[in-house]
Amino acid sequence: MTAETQLPPPPLPVETRPPAPPRRRRRRRAGQTLWNLLGLALLVLMAFPVYWMISTAFKPDDDINGFTPTWLPTHPTLDHFREAMSRPFFWDGIKNSVIIVSVTVLVSMVLAFFAAVALAKFRFTGLKLFIVLMIGIQMLPQAGLIIPLYVVLARYGQVNTLTGVTITYMTFVLPFTVWTLRGFLLGIPRELEEAAMVDGSTRVGAFVRILLPLVAPGLVATSIFAFITSWNEYIFARVLLNDQGKQTATVWLSYFYGTSKHTDWGALMAGSTLIAIPVVIFFLIVQRRIAFGLTAGAVRG
Amino acid sequence: MSSTEAPGGAAFAAEAPLPRRRRPHTATRLFRGAVPYALILPVLAAVAAILGYPLYRLVRISFEQYGLFELIQRKGIPVGWENYSSVLHDPVFWDTLVRTVIFTIANVALTMVLGTLIALLLVRVSAVVRVLLTSGLVLVWAMPPVVAVQVWLWMTNYENGVLNYALTKLRLGDYFQHDWYATPFSQLALSTTLIVWGAIPFVVLTIYAGLAQVPRELVEAAEVDGARSWRIFKDVTAPILKPILLILTSLAIIWDFGVFTQPFLLIGQSNIQESNYLMGIYLFEEGYSKSDFGRGAAISILMLLIVALLSVFYVRKMLRLGDLR
């Protein structure tokens, strides 16, 4: 995992700019085409690696290994996907990743939710210190943490176990789930909670019936984000899991290249696509929602 | 609405009893005061156990000789400041530090300049192009770094990588079978392209969101006054974007300084050597690969201290934005 995925994305304002004043309109229109072309060229440049990955995965070997690249997969084949899936330890990697990621997400979400309620709905001495701690932890470079985590986990016999990796993942998943959930909770109008209280509900009753349904989308979005972060993680899994049968999907993929003299690019790209798919799908679902959580609480300059 | 704006205003806040309700007994008040602490306790305990304790061990190990034997014995041999002096007297450490600083500056500068330019472009293009470009950026953002590395390896492969083909076809030089992994500079430059490519979407979309906050009246007034695009950006847009740009820059510095996965996998472990070490990789090789955990711990602490210094600014900024003065 890179840190880049840790911070929830910002909102995407959809409204367009109003038309320019008449004086400039004509020059704008002429310029507009130019800007549009530049934008499209940029799109091609940025998205090309993703396209190249997917199209290579579907191309037959002859198209891949020629010296002149084939731009379109005109003879699509699923062979490379079959190859990738039948390679040793592919399914082990997927299974291990799923186990590690689900436990990490479940446990962190429960713990983080309580803390987020405290941060969003109470004022108490030490609140600020706690938030500094949560933001500060996210800034720690992961490379700097390999040695201490490896040594401590080795002391307790947790190296080369899925438990050890799961515990490790919580170090960076917890802080940002707390912070993001706090944002979602802050976004709930206070009036709704007060209305429930006046109606005679108990504090817990108000919480369960009013707060929980409102924050459910936020919980889902944050869990998905935690899922993506742990699914993408590489360095701790690489250091802590030596056994091939225990490695995660990303580590499996990282050992693909360079294992033989001639890399099977088609299968490598098919494997890459398979590992990227869940992330991309989930990411597209939550991208906007998570933005709301962050903006509600944090970025309101 | 941020509840912290109005002190004691939240419905669940202990110090905000509803009107006409009797002042609760001391015991009840104490209980309510304890609620937030009880709520944060699980996270605090987890962080203390899985991060606090390892960091404490890290400090101790950094003063010990701690290799594989000591790991099995679970007991290091105290050596005082020897690990630190060994690291600080190691020219490789200083070379790596300088290389990492240059690498970080290059990555951050490229990310921020390109990110700002693309964000400004997003404002200019038509709605359709904007949606297309935004979707493309989100797609790039969603790519797992390990996957992106594999795609880069394939595209830059010297035999039939598409990069060499395209560069030659565009007549930018003869790149037939050009080996991009031949020199440390080329290896690191390739890592930069990968890192900047992956970081741009976040930067662009954040700045673009910030641009929406720039009052249109200001821009229009400047246009009526005959200001050119550059002046509008410099005197109207940039000052409003300043807090966002500062936060993004400091985040980028912190991330790029500690970067590991992309250069480590792209350069490949067999090609990694002293001449292309970055801080994270240096730490991995010297501490973990050589199983010299004591020395590795000293490097970790030095690295964490540098990043902590870099982070102070960011954390303070975040607190201010979170209304937590």
- Domain ranges within chain B, ordered by starting residue: 90-321
Number of domains in chain A: 1
* Residues shown for chain A: 301
* Stretch 233-272 of chain A: residues touching chain B, C-beta under 8 Å: 234-235, 239, 250, 253-254, 256-258, 263, 265, 268-269, 271-272
- What's the gap in Å between the CA of B278 and the closest CA on chain A? 11
Question: In this structure, is residue A15 part of a structural domain?
Answer: no
**How far is it, in rounded angstroms, from Cα A116 to Cα A97?**
27
Residue B25: per-residue pLDDT = 67
Q: Are B72 and B78 in contact (CB under 8 A)?
A: no
The closest CB to that of A186, out of B2, B202, B297, belongs to: B2
The closest CB to that of A178, out of B43, B143, B280, belongs to: B43
* Stretch 53-82 of chain A: residues touching chain B, C-beta under 8 Å: 53, 56, 64-69
Residue A3: per-residue pLDDT = 40
Query: What does A192-233 look like in DSSP terms, one character per residue?
Result: HHHHHHHTT--HHHHIIIIIHHHHHHHHHHHHHHHHHHHHH-
Question: B-chain residues within 8 Å CB-CB of A133?
Answer: 47
- Comparing CA positions, the residue from A95, A70, A51 lying closest to residue A244 is A95
Question: In this structure, is residue A2 part of a structural domain?
Answer: no
Rounded to an integer, what is the distance from CA A91 to the centroid of its chain? 21
Location of structure tokens 């108990």: A202
Q: Are A248 and A241 in contact (CB under 8 A)?
A: yes
**How far is it, in rounded angstroms, from Cα B64 to Cα A154?**
17
A9 pLDDT tier (thresholds 50, 70, 90): very low
Question: In this structure, is residue A238 part of a structural domain?
Answer: yes
DSSP one-letter code for A35: H
**How far is it, in rounded angstroms, from Cα B296 to Cα A146?**
9
Residue of A nearest to B300 (CA): A144
Question: In this structure, is residue A170 part of a structural domain?
Answer: yes
Residue A201: per-residue pLDDT = 61
A11 pLDDT tier (thresholds 50, 70, 90): very low
**How far is it, in rounded angstroms, from Cα A268 to Cα A278?**
17
Q: Are B283 and B303 in contact (CB under 8 A)?
A: yes
Question: In this structure, is residue A49 part of a structural domain?
Answer: no
Question: B-chain residues within 8 Å CB-CB of A269?
Answer: 150-151, 154
Q: What is the pTM of this model?
A: 0.84
Residue of A nearest to B61 (CA): A148
Question: In this structure, is residue A277 part of a structural domain?
Answer: yes
- What's the gap in Å between the CA of B169 and the closest CA on chain A? 10
Question: A-chain residues within 8 Å CB-CB of B55?
Answer: 148
The verdict on a CB contact (< 8 Å) between B162 and A119 is no
**How far is it, in rounded angstroms, from Cα A220 to Cα A290?**
9
Question: In this structure, is residue A280 part of a structural domain?
Answer: yes
Residue B110: per-residue pLDDT = 97
Instruction: Determine the structural domain holding residue A133 and report its residue range.
Output: 83-297
User: What is the complex's ipTM, to 2 decimals?
Assistant: 0.84
Q: Are A51 and B155 in contact (CB under 8 A)?
A: no
CATH of B90-321, one of 3.30.70.20, 1.10.3720.10, 3.30.70.1110, 3.40.50.300: 1.10.3720.10
Question: B-chain residues within 8 Å CB-CB of A280?
Answer: 139, 142-143
Question: If 0-12 CB within 10 Å is exposed, 13-18 middle and 19+ buried, where does residue B144 land?
Answer: buried
Contacts of residue B50, defined as CB under 8 A and 6 or more positions apart, other chains included, come to: A167, A168, A170, A171
The verdict on a CB contact (< 8 Å) between A256 and B150 is yes
Please list the pLDDT of chain B residue by residue as tens digits (325 residues).
333 333 333 333 444 444 555 555 676 777 778 888 999 999 999 999 989 999 999 999 999 998 888 888 888 889 989 999 999 999 999 999 999 999 999 999 999 999 999 999 998 899 899 989 998 998 898 899 999 999 999 999 888 889 988 988 888 888 888 888 889 999 999 999 999 999 999 899 888 888 877 888 888 888 888 888 788 888 888 888 888 888 888 888 988 999 999 999 999 888 899 999 999 999 999 999 999 999 999 999 999 999 888 888 777 777 776 555 4
Q: Helices A265-297 & A212-232, crossing angle to 10 degrees?
A: 140
What pLDDT digit, counting tens, does each position of A168-227 carry?
Answer: 999 889 988 998 888 888 877 777 767 766 666 666 777 777 777 778 888 888 898 899
Q: Does A199 touch chain B (CB under 8 A)?
A: no
Question: In this structure, is residue A5 part of a structural domain?
Answer: no
The verdict on a CB contact (< 8 Å) between B140 and A46 is yes
Question: A-chain residues within 8 Å CB-CB of B257?
Answer: 141
When scoring A36, A45, A122, A163 by the number of chain B Cβ atoms within 10 A, the one with the most, hence best to mutate, is A122
Q: Does A292 touch chain B (CB under 8 A)?
A: no
Q: Is the pLDDT of residue A10 over 60?
A: no
CATH, residue A219: 1.10.3720.10
